[in-house]
Amino acid sequence: MLFDSDEPTVWEAVLALYPEALAHHVSHKKDNSLLALDQWYQDTLPTLLQSRQPMHIDANELCQLMSWKLKRGKFRPSLAKLAASNADADVKRISQEAFKLLHTKDLRAAITKMAELKGVGPATASGAPKQVPFMADETMDSVPGLGTIAYTIPYYIKFATQVIEKAAGLKARGSAIVNSPHLVEKALWTDYMVAKYGIQRQVQASKDKDEDKGKDTTQSDGKVSNASSSSSSGSHSNHKRKAQDISSTEYVSAATGTSAKRAKPRIPPALSATTTRSLRRRS
């Protein structure tokens, strides 16, 4: 599984598939509004937070955060109503206190403080992009050794600790792309969705094609033949992970094959490996 890899290029290649993974997810949910909400969460919200001193969110932003969370995962209208019932002054005050705690590296206290708001549990409280990893079934299911998913603060701390350590390790190995807890979590979510929807993992596919076209082999009698036509095709692996709550008709083939004489890809083969996971949903 992806989490077992310490190779930055593996993580970076997976993260590059995020837009495609999100597009597949949106198409299955049949709610295009998630695309705009995700752009707001990934790009706009972090900029807004960094521009504020002291850092905080307001009531409208809390509602947008809740909407992004519910449309990306399991929709629960009651949570949206609860979040909308918070007074703007309370949201600003409590979130300001939570961000102060976060800056002191007291993650548990920060999450506990945000959870004082109505409708806000550990998952919504973790919605601070660029700061901490977001708590979602897909990412927690991708981290080994966590046990049965539980939407509690202790469970979140256990999950976040491993993601933070993984981010530090990738950064130490020279990754300039996947070097924060948020980006590790984002790559894990991508990897899960790539497997769920059978998205083809392309590792230098176009480059390999170009190399194959230009490969000619001179035979002993002086005749020239194309290497790609004379080589036997490699074995094909069909990497499909079926989620329990969606039908097999929702999958597209993830089968990929390479010529036996094709150049060895620079990306480690661990990228194309998939693991069988079961989707565990919140109760």
Inside any domain, residue 211: no
Q: Structural domain of residue 129, as residue ranges?
A: 2-196
Inside any domain, residue 70: yes
Rounded to two decimals, what is the model's pTM? 0.73
Inside any domain, residue 268: no
What's the CA angle centered on 158, arms 153 and 159, to 5 degrees?
Answer: 95
Domain tally, the chain: 1
Inside any domain, residue 146: yes
Alpha carbons 57 and 74: distance in angstroms, whole number: 23
Inside any domain, residue 40: yes
Inside any domain, residue 250: no
Inside any domain, residue 227: no
* pLDDT tens track, the chain, 283 positions: 999 999 999 999 999 999 999 999 999 988 899 999 999 999 999 999 999 999 999 999 999 999 999 999 988 889 999 999 999 999 999 999 999 999 999 999 999 999 999 999 999 999 998 889 999 999 999 999 999 999 999 999 999 999 999 999 999 999 999 999 999 999 999 999 999 999 988 654 444 444 444 444 334 343 333 333 333 333 333 333 333 333 322 323 233 333 333 333 343 434 433 343 443 443 3
Taking a C-beta distance cutoff of 8 angstroms, is the pair 79, 282 a contact? no
Measuring CA to CA, which residue among 44, 45, 24, 26 is closest to residue 35? Answer: 26
Inside any domain, residue 54: yes
